Amino acid sequence: MPNEAITVPFVSFRPMEQELDAELRGAFARVLQNSWYIEGNEDAAFEKAFAAYCGTEYCIGCGNGLDSLVLILRAMGIGPGDEVIVPSNTFIATVLSVSYAGATPVLVEPLLDTYNIDPNRIEAAITPRTKAIIAVHLYGQCAQMDAVNTIAQAHGLKVIEDAAQAHGATWQGRRSGSLGDAAGFSFYPGKNLGALGDAGCVTTNDPDLAKKVRALGNYGSDYKYHHIYKGQNSRLDELQAAFLSAKLPHLDRMNAERRRIADCYRAGITNTAVTLPTVAEGCEHVYHIFAVRCKSRDALEAHLHERGIGTNKHYPTPIHLQGAYRELGLDRGALPIAEEISATELSLPMFYGMTEEQVRAVIEAVNSFKE
Ligand SMILES: *Cc1c(COP(=O)(O)O)cnc(C)c1O
Give SS3 for 366: helix
Quick check: CB of 64 below 6 Å from ligand 1?
yes
- CA-to-CA dists, residue 79 to 33, 84, 201, 327, angstroms: 42, 10, 21, 17
Q: How, if at all, do strands 274-275 and 170-171 pair?
A: unpaired
Task: Give the model confidence (pLDDT) of 74-118 as tens digits.
Answer: 999 999 999 999 999 999 999 999 999 999 999 999 999 999 999
Q: List the residue whose alpha carbon is closest to atom 5 of ligand 1.
A: 65
Q: How far apart are the CA of 229 and the centre of ligand 1, in A?
A: 25
Q: Is the pLDDT of residue 66 over 90?
A: yes
pLDDT over 80 (residue 214):
yes
Distance 66 CA to ligand 1 centre (A): 6
Q: Residue 6 has what pLDDT?
A: 65
H-helix or E-strand spanning residue 182: strand 182-186
CA atoms of 289 and 91, how far apart (whole Å)? 12
Instruction: Over range 199-216, report the average pLDDT.
Output: 98
The ligand 1 atom nearest the CA atom of 165: 15
User: What pLDDT, on the 0 to 100 scale, is given for residue 38?
Assistant: 97
**What is the distance between the alpha carbons of residues 1 and 25, in angstroms, rounded to a whole number?**
36
Q: Whose CA is nearest to atom 6 of ligand 1?
A: 65
pLDDT digits (tens, 9 = 90+) for 309-342: 999 999 999 999 999 999 999 999 999 999 999 9
One-letter amino acid at 320 equals H
**pLDDT digit string, tens, across residues 232-269:** 999 999 999 999 999 999 999 999 999 999 999 999 99
pLDDT at 5 over 90: no
Span 35-42, average pLDDT: 97
pLDDT class of 31 with cuts at 50, 70, 90: very high
Residue 241, pLDDT score: 98
| Closest-CA residue to 254 (of 133, 134, 105, 354) | 354
Find out whether the beta carbon of 199 lies less than 6 Å from any atom of ligand 1.
Answer: no
Residue 3, pLDDT score = 47
Q: What is the pLDDT of residue 274?
A: 98
Determine if ligand 1 sits within 6 Å of the CB of residue 185: no
- Ligand 1 near 362 CB (within 6 A): no
Phi and psi dihedrals of 350, rounded to 5? -160, 105
How far apart are the C-alpha atoms of 330 and 309, rounded to whole Å? Answer: 35
**If you measure from the C-alpha of residue 161 to the centroid of ligand 1, how many angstroms do you get, rounded to a whole number?**
12
Q: Is the pLDDT of residue 1 over 80?
A: no
371 CA distance to ligand 1 middle (Å): 33
pLDDT above 70 covers a percentage of the chain that reads 98
Which residues pair with residue 202 across a beta bridge? 60, 184
Q: Which atom of ligand 1 is nearest to the CA of 94?
A: 11
Find out whether the beta carbon of 93 lies less than 6 Å from any atom of ligand 1: yes
Q: Which of 291, 194, 299, 230 is nearest to 71 (CA)?
A: 230
pLDDT digits (tens, 9 = 90+) for 339-360: 999 999 999 999 999 999 999 9
Alpha-helical segments (H) within the chain? 14-19, 21-34, 41-54, 65-75, 92-101, 145-155, 207-216, 238-247, 251-268, 297-306, 336-344, 356-367
Instruction: State which of 67, 91, 244 you would mutate to test the pocket of ligand 1, scoring each by most atoms of that ligand within 8 A of its C-beta.
Output: 91
- Mean pLDDT, the chain, integer: 97
